[in-house]
Amino acid sequence: MKNTLIQYGAAAADLLLPRTCIVCGRKLGIHESHICLYCISDLPFTFFWHREHNPMADKFNEQIQKTLEAAPATQIPAEKYAFAAALYFFSQGSDYRNIQYSLKYKGNISAGRHFGRILGDRLASSVQFKDADTIIPVPLHWTRKWSRGYNQAEAIACGIALKLGAELRCDILARKKRTRTQTMLSTEEKARNVKEAFIVKEPCKNIGRIRHILVVDDIFTTGSTLHACFTALRRVFPADVRISIASLGYTG
Ligand SMILES: [Zn+2]
């Protein structure tokens, strides 16, 4: 009875505003949401959540090591190999780029949560990620969030938190510097642009029980944004608190 009502509801909503696939634009069936069955079955999944060492994690850990090596020898803390996973390979030439564009520029928050849940399902089946207890989205500067009205990373993080049974915490990390858009910058410029951009808010409540943090962004390109978040968090959280990262898209 409940399902029938939902189907009637979906059919009625389609008459008012037809629902279409975010990737190919095809009209969606009653059992499909945001993406059609053809597009989801062809989605170029990375399967990074099943590989502790993968290209994204290697790239990320390289940056962590570089920062550690630059620090004075006496201050080098022990650092575990950080876990990293993305849902799919992002490519400018593919229609799957519409997933990112729809989240970032068209305000499709509900799609962000949906793809977050898809990624969350994968992470929940992964030895590396299943015990993550705290999900932190990469924050926007408050002026940008105010003008855009939402944070796309927060929508994704919300879907992931739901599937992992973890707590979504948007009150821990803040962006103190309004940075330039990263799109047109070189790798070095990107790293410089976001360095010191994030800060852990003081005083930060109820962080004593946190054992495994997962920082979430919409896309991983050079990893410099997530690395800047990692650095800010590591200043507050000791080495026995694991800090991992996840994103929807990955560009190698
Ligand atoms: Zn489609």
Dihedral class, residue 206 (left if φ above 0, else alpha if ψ from -120 to 50, else beta) = left
Percent of the chain with pLDDT over 70: 89
CA of 35 from ligand 1 middle (Å) equals 5
Band the pLDDT of 149: cuts 50, 70, 90. Answer: confident
Residues 6+ apart with CB under 8 A from 179: 141, 193, 194, 197
CA of 89 from ligand 1 middle (Å) equals 17
Fold of the domain built from segment(s) 43-250: Rossmann fold (3.40.50)
Task: Spell out the domain ranges in the chain.
Answer: 1-42, 43-250
CA of 222 from ligand 1 middle (Å) equals 28
Q: Tokens 């930060």, residue?
A: 204
Q: Which of 9-13, 19-23, 152-156 has the lowest mean pLDDT?
A: 9-13
Q: Which of the pair, 10 or 148, is modelled with greater confidence?
A: 148
- Give the pLDDT mean for 113-131: 97
CA of 151 from ligand 1 middle (Å) equals 25
Summarize the chain as % helix, strand, coil (round to 5). 40, 15, 40
CA of 41 from ligand 1 middle (Å) equals 9
Q: What is the pTM (predicted TM-score) of this model?
A: 0.89
CA of 47 from ligand 1 middle (Å) equals 21
Given a cut of 90, whether residue 81 has pLDDT beyond it is: yes
pLDDT at 69: 81
Helix (H, G, I), strand (E, B) or coil at 211: coil
